[in-house]
Amino acid sequence: MSTLVSTVIDIRDLTKVYHLGEVDVRALDGVDLNVDTGDFVAIMGPSGSGKSTLMNIIGCLDRPTAGTYVLDGADVSELSRDQRAIIRNAKIGFVFQSFNLLARTSAMENVELPLLYGDTALARKERHAAAREALHRVGLAGREGNYPSQLSGGQQQRVAIARALVTNPAILLADEPTGNLDSKTSLEIMGIFQDLNDEGKTIVLITHEPDIAQHAKRVVTVRDGRIQQDERIEQNRVERKGIEAPVAPVAR
């Protein structure tokens, strides 16, 4: 690991305006945000605050109206649809609230999915190896052949995290990853994020739950399209006692 701290997300004066009929809605109004490599940032805010818009732009799903966004050294603020798809594939690992796994598709195949669209196409064997490795990292070794319907919510979210990891992206972007999970499973998932962060992964977490945000190292609060507060916090480490050890393969 390099001792030099580099910037992975560099957002300057970001503005996003939606045209809803006659009215212009300023969802984001001059946002500045810097995220260093290896950081764990929670973006908080009530609904309508603009945090979803911010997340869409950070995730390269959308383009800003004005301002610049440099991701991992590349300016991505004015890329075309296809160019953004390439960036998403290479640099961003998405984790969604509703898991968003493909039904009737095995855990293994779900994890392999991003590799199908990669710029460096891998042969089947290499894909299998990468997927197996990613599933192992989230503690799902031995579950490669299971379908989402055969997995619990927590396990499904872990498959989704494995899918996000498989391309070794610059950032993990998690949008309310615990929103559909009970509190015990939520802690389990936050524990995995903390483990990955300890290994050096940069994580951006979007949430509206303050106690979930407490598991990050830094909390950014968005309100009315602006950053209202940006503070480093004392990270709430997940107690591993009493929680199923994620790395242990499930015997079956």
Partner 1 sequence: MRNSFIRLGNITVVGLKSIARNKLRSLLTALGVVIGVACVIVSVAIGAGVAASVSEMINSLGSNFIMIMPGAATQSGARIFTGSSTLTEDDAEAIKREASAVSYVSPQLRTAGQVVGNDQNWSTQVYGVGIDWPNIRAWNVQDGSFFTEGDIRSGSKVALLGNTVADNLFPAGDAVGSTIRVKNVPFRVVGVLEKKGGSMMGSDQDDMIVAPYTTVQKRLMGQQRFGMIIASAASAEQVSEAMDQIDALLKQRHRIPPGGDADFMMRSQEEMAQANQQQVQLMRNLLLGIAIVSLFVGGIGIMNIMLVSVTERTREIGIRMAIGARGRHVLLQFLFEAIVLSVFGGLIGVLLGIGVATLFARVAKWSMVVSPTSIILAFGVAASIGIFFGFYPARKASKLDPIDALRYE
Q: Which of 20, 120, 242, 252 binds partner 1 (CB under 8 A)?
A: 120
Q: Where are the beta strands (DSSP E) in 137-191?
A: 171-175
Q: Do the beta carbons of residue 243 and residue 188 sit within 8 Å? A: yes
If the CB atoms of residues 118 and 179 are measured against partner 1, the closer one turns out to be: 118
CB of 248 to partner 1, least distance (A): 28
Under 8 Å between Cβ of 94 and 170: no
Q: Report how far residue 175's alpha carbon sits from residue 186's, in angstroms, rounded to the nearest whole number.
A: 13
Q: How many residues bind partner 1 (CB under 8 A)?
A: 30
Residue 17 touches partner 1, criterion: CB under 8 A: no
Contact segment (CB under 8 A) with partner 1 among 43-51, 80-88, 202-210, 229-237 equals 80-88
| From candidates 17, 70, 113, 141, binder to partner 1 by CB under 8 A | 113
CB atoms within 10 A of CB 97: 16
Shortest Å, Cβ 167 to partner 1: 8
17-25, 53-61, 202-210, 228-236 -> range binding partner 1 (CB under 8 A) = 53-61
**Member of 119, 231, 234, 239 binding partner 1 (CB under 8 A):** 119
**Residue 118 is a binding residue for partner 1 (CB under 8 A):** yes
Q: Which residues have a Cβ under 8 Å from the Cβ of 172 and sit 6 or more positions away?
A: 93, 95, 161, 164, 165, 193, 196, 201, 202, 203, 204
Q: Is 201 in the site for partner 1 (CB under 8 A)?
A: no
Contacting partner 1 (CB under 8 A), which of 34, 68, 100, 235?
A: 100
In three-state secondary structure terms, 20 is strand
Binding flag, residue 79, partner 1 (CB under 8 A):
no
Min dist. Cβ of residue 103 to partner 1 (A): 8
Interface with partner 1 includes 158 (CB under 8 A)? no
- What order do you get walking across the sheet with 40-44 strand by strand? 92-95, 171-175, 202-207, 40-44, 218-223, 226-232
Query: Contact region for partner 1 (CB under 8 A) — 115-123, 137-145, 220-228, 238-246?
Result: 115-123
Where do the DSSP E strands lie in the chain?
7-20, 23-36, 40-44, 66-71, 74-75, 92-95, 171-175, 202-207, 218-223, 226-232
